[in-house]
Amino acid sequence: MNSREVLIEKCLKAKTALTTLAASKGAVRNAAVIAMADALVASKDEILAANNIDIENTIANNTRESMIDRLRLTSERIDGISASLKKVAALPDPLGDGTVWNRPNGLTIRKIKVPLGLIGIIYEARPNVTADAAVLCIKSGNCVLLRGGSSAINSNLAITKILRDAIASVGLSAECIQIAEDTSREDATELMKLNGYVDLLIPRGGASLIRSVVENATIPVIETGAGNCHVYIDSDTDLDMAVAITVNAKTQRPSVCNAAETLLVHKDIADKFLPLAANAMPRVELRGCDKTLAILSGIKSATEEDWVCEYNDYIFAVKVVDSIQEAVTHINKYNTKHSEAIVTKNIASAEYFKANVDAAAVYVNASTRFTDGEEFGFGAEIGISTQKLHARGPMGLDALTTIKYLIDGDGQIR
Amino acid sequence: MNSREVLIEKCLKAKTALTTLAASKGAVRNAAVIAMADALVASKDEILAANNIDIENTIANNTRESMIDRLRLTSERIDGISASLKKVAALPDPLGDGTVWNRPNGLTIRKIKVPLGLIGIIYEARPNVTADAAVLCIKSGNCVLLRGGSSAINSNLAITKILRDAIASVGLSAECIQIAEDTSREDATELMKLNGYVDLLIPRGGASLIRSVVENATIPVIETGAGNCHVYIDSDTDLDMAVAITVNAKTQRPSVCNAAETLLVHKDIADKFLPLAANAMPRVELRGCDKTLAILSGIKSATEEDWVCEYNDYIFAVKVVDSIQEAVTHINKYNTKHSEAIVTKNIASAEYFKANVDAAAVYVNASTRFTDGEEFGFGAEIGISTQKLHARGPMGLDALTTIKYLIDGDGQIR
């Protein structure tokens, strides 16, 4: 079989298992999730042994320490993954709920929530995503086709085997969970073209993975995680709050998508604010526009590339603007529609910013770092959508469902 | 300027107009809709003169009468279009509504409905779609880029000019409504690739148009209207009801997407039911499986192609099945996920059918012909989605919106 045929065989096995899963009661799916969470802890030795092979192979390839850290599992990390899976079991059932209405001709229409079907998850060398994504799919009645990075393949295969055994232990089919064993680039491209087999593909990872999926996929995709986020400091602002929000948005975890990448400052407050902000984040490399350079001497000059870049690092582009309108225009030109913040005391500025900035999440006097399923109160998230269709912003279990209309009649015709 | 540049210029004009439109009150958008509806009636002569040019050009090309009929406008038809636009004005405002909640850290999160932005509508030679689509977009705060078929270009330009003047008369920008004047195939393909300019593309038309959009578009698309729908007659069935629903689903308007294309009949009732059904629709050409041919002598034999085909005509494929399971398997293999019906007296059969058939709308004891925005009580519809993401089934104004999270804090950081 070629790689497409191997993938299709997996899809067909999943689709056969789907009927029972999609029709199963929420209590059964929750039992499956808990069994999966418990099995990971019970099988730590097996997982850690497989993970150790991945780590050794990766070190042999001289990979960066940050990448090895993402790949590494420990006993504590497995406990953490298991605990977060149990939280998913405790979330409300996303299926079945709906509305019902009657039509004048006597038809009763019921709009209910149903699973999407088979969801593909394509991700990098983070073995925690294997368990996390599988559980969110099962909880929402979907089968899953996992496709992780090549350097985590031993960890992913071990975790998947444990999850498959666990789901079978509650009477659902192990075939609900599939994993692509071939981790070549060609195989990933085949997966992106499984029209008619995979109902939705969600990429979880860095900009290059997401770009590759958007460019190559012919199946439906939800774009996630690209975050060129801005903090705008308005002229009428509490300076302490402005510094605290700026530093938090940039430095609390620079590698994530909701961290800020560009700081915009109103010209009337730039003289006071910029030196305070620069002092408060000494580790951060600032790259400024000409007006910024006139205030903060000795920093690098920002180029067009800096306005576009999602650094995911301790680097911050800085621009002084003449007005809130200029700030909003800059944001709407360069942002990835993820998260944007204004710090202001002025109601009109706050309202203007909220109405005119095009993004999933728009903050007034708070850090962009709150764009997150847990922080929004949704529980576990499957990713943060930067598109406008189907789901926008942090995606909870609802994003993994679609609707179905069930219509009962007694002989109605038109 | 090349055709891509011409289209981009139109998009940029629309995007500039969008800010005011998206922020406008529902009353202003409703006033725009009413002004548009009135202007069409007031400018009948102009529209009919332009339409007459289209009709003459089309007749000169020897086109089928049914196509000319779709293209033709009359004074009565313009009154009808205007009346249906006024119904749109009366629908609830799809924007702004939402939910609000507080987080333990004091953040207030508001989830509101906002317009998608600029919506492209690509359609065939039906000038009524020009007014219809423009009004649904404006009502939901979206700008629109219209792209109709070449044979209706004079009608479409006349209607668009009238609509643009009308929207300007209530203080919104005429640039909210754009029309592609170049109706070449190449220009359509350019439109499908306007990433970053067009937020959503909706094709309205036949299977070949929709296939072309799905294959060529790189911008987000909602697939609409492909309908290979089935009626399944269960073993325990009221024969009169079964015949009435079958005949209605096939013949009441065979050219539309929610008409039935294949009839499935349980073997235990086929002997009685099939002769009654055949007699009740003498105009319909039946094409049957071997078991059907044994009951209805003299009809054509059905091939694999018949199970796949959306005839949109007085042709009906007929298959006798051994069980409801076989019926559901056949449906899920061949259907376009649009509308499916069972006729049965048996509760277990009804529940099995509703749970296991994968389609936007699943009917028990009613005709598939009810899958329609008006019939569902949504008011005007923008199309019937056959995909699972974003919108499924009849799409009302809600399908033209997305969400936005507005978060108010007083200095929250993580």
The single residue listed with the structure tokens 């202001």 is A344
Position A62 confidence tier, pLDDT thresholds 50, 70, 90: confident
Interface test with A, best of B386, B389, B390 (most A CBs within 10 A): B389
Coil, helix or strand for B248?
helix
| Residue spans of beta strands (DSSP E) within A155-259 | 177-179, 200-204, 229-233
| CB nearest B369 (choices: A371, A390, A414) | A414
- CB of B125 within 8 A of CB of B383? no
Distance from CA of B62 to the nearest CA of A (A): 34
pTM of the complete model = 0.90
- Whether residues A414 and B116 touch (CB distance < 8 A) is answered with no
| CB nearest B367 (choices: A103, A377, A413) | A413
Note the pLDDT tens digit of each residue in B83-113. 999 999 999 999 987 899 999 999 999 999 9
Of chain B, the percentage scoring pLDDT greater than 70 comes to 100
Position B380 confidence tier, pLDDT thresholds 50, 70, 90: confident
- Whether residues B405 and A360 touch (CB distance < 8 A) is answered with yes
| CB nearest B404 (choices: A116, A362, A409) | A362
Residue A116 CA, distance from chain mean position: 18
Note the pLDDT tens digit of each residue in B255-272. 889 999 999 999 999 999
Position B225 confidence tier, pLDDT thresholds 50, 70, 90: confident
Position B386 confidence tier, pLDDT thresholds 50, 70, 90: very high
Would you tell me which residues 342-381 of chain A have a C-beta closer than 8 angstroms to some C-beta of chain B? 350, 354-356, 358-367, 369-371, 375-377
Q: Check pLDDT > 80 for residue A66.
A: no
Domains of chain B: 3-223+390-408 (3.40.605.10), 229-374 (3.40.309.10)
Length of chain B counted residue by residue: 414
| CA triple A195-A196-A198, angle to 5 deg | 75
Q: How many CB pairs under 8 A join A and B?
A: 172
Interface test with B, best of A241, A329, A345, A406 (most B CBs within 10 A): A406
The single residue listed with the structure tokens 């692509």 is A180
Coil, helix or strand for B314?
coil
Q: Angle between the A153-169 and A44-60 helix axes, to the nearest 10 degrees?
A: 160
The pLDDT score that the predictor gives to residue B401 is 96
The pLDDT score that the predictor gives to residue B194 is 94
Which ipTM value was assigned to this complex?
Answer: 0.92
Q: Check pLDDT > 80 for residue A300.
A: yes
| Residue spans of beta strands (DSSP E) within A246-296 | 260-266, 285-288
Note the pLDDT tens digit of each residue in A132-176. 999 999 999 999 999 999 999 999 999 999 999 999 999 999 999
The pLDDT score that the predictor gives to residue A69 is 87
Position A348 confidence tier, pLDDT thresholds 50, 70, 90: very high
Dihedral (CA of A175, A181, A184, A186) sign = negative
